[in-house]
Amino acid sequence: MSHGLTRRRLLLGGASAACALPLAAAGRAFAGTTGKVDAAGHRVLTATDVHVSDYPTVEAVRWIGQTLERETGGRLTLRLYHSGQLGREAEAIDMARYGVIDITRVFSGALNNAFPLTQALCLPYVFDSIGHMRRVIDGDVGEEVLRSFETRDLVGLAIYDSGARCFYNTRRPIVEPKDLHGMKMRVAASDIFIKLVRLLGANPTPMSLGETFSAMETHMIDGAENNMRSFHSSRHFEAAGFWSETRHSYAPDVLVMSRASFVSLSPADRELLVRTARESVPVMRAKWDESEGVARAAVLEHGIQANEVDMPAFHKAAQPLLDEYHRKPEIEALYRRIRDLA
């Protein structure tokens, strides 16, 4: 882009400063770049996503921007940086917290350490299906998780789908946990996913989504776990020929906003933004449901070998991880409310 932020500008102006100063100081240095109100009262909000332009979450955030622009007569607009143009999810979370960017969409697993209530959404087999997950996040549990972001300089705007996460790899079909033994598997930087993969007998290797394709091609890792839509859009199916329907997680994505940016809006604009973000959820779901089927058909046509798994064996292998988190009162309470909606 010729205008606005670029990853290079951010790194040169922000990350270099952050080498000597805390990230908060880097955020202050960039306060004039994002969320700035011009003389006519126009404000441009900056949003980021690591996924590609036509990914359902990106499309939903784009819809938010179009709606804000229409509803305010152009006074509020949104500039969207997709495909990881401004960095990885872990970086985006901190940039939002310190006001370097306004809005970001991140996988809930990346939020587990800083925002513990998200752990309940990421536990293995806590959700039975997409429908179960949607009932939960549309209700009181979803609202409680969104409120929890206020404890650390963020505002929870919406919770998006992220599909059923399954294992895929370059070596063989995975039918039962023992088939994972000895494999190096990419996982999100989340203690829950790291511990789960280890319990299943594989070697967890945390890395960003953008690094995964080359890591499989060079045999640094044997595979990964993710949803079908990401498996397709990231082109990982070109490196990994085996997809196994473990459906071990339906952990969702979360749309969050810098609290500093949020409170700087007028009360009316805050209400409009929150309402629009919530209304973007069905927009995202419609695009997700349609594109997931297209993605599945495309990878199967490419020659991917897909298989069902011994689901009771995977449930049994994951149970020690559930037992560990059941000992955390806050997580156990949320877990029970989630299961009550199954």
Half-sphere exposure of 282 (CA within 13 A, CB side): 3
Q: What is the 3-state secondary structure (H, E, C) of the chain?
A: CCCCCCHHHHHHHHHHHHHHCCHHHHHHHCCCCCCCECCCCCEEEEEECCCCCCCHHHHHHHHHHHHHHHHCCCCEEEEEECCCCCCCHHHHHHHHHCCCCCEEEEEHHHHCCCCHHHHHHHCCCCCCCHHHHHHHHCCHHHHHHHHHHHHHCEEEEEEECCCCEEEEECCCCCCCHHHHCCCEEEECCCHHHHHHHHHCCCEEEECCHHHHHHHHHCCCCCEEEECHHHHHHCCHHHCCCEEEEEEEECCCEEEEEEHHHHHHCCHHHHHHHHHHHHHHHHHHHHHHHHHHHHHHHHHHHHCCEEECCCHHHHHHHHHHHHHHHHCCHHHHHHHHHHHHCC
Distance CA 131, CA 70 (A): 32
Q: Domains plus CATH for the chain? A: 7-162+252-291 (3.40.190.170), 165-250+294-340 (3.40.190.170)
| pLDDT score recorded for residue 14 | 43
pLDDT means per 10 residues, the chain with 342 residues, are 46 39 42 61 95 97 98 98 93 95 97 96 98 98 97 97 96 98 96 97 94 96 97 97 98 98 97 98 97 97 98 98 98 98 96
- Distance from C-alpha of 185 to C-alpha of 192, rounded to nearest angstrom: 14
Q: What is the pLDDT of residue 36?
A: 67
Instruction: Return the pLDDT at 35.
Output: 60
**pLDDT at residue 41, rounded to an integer:** 81
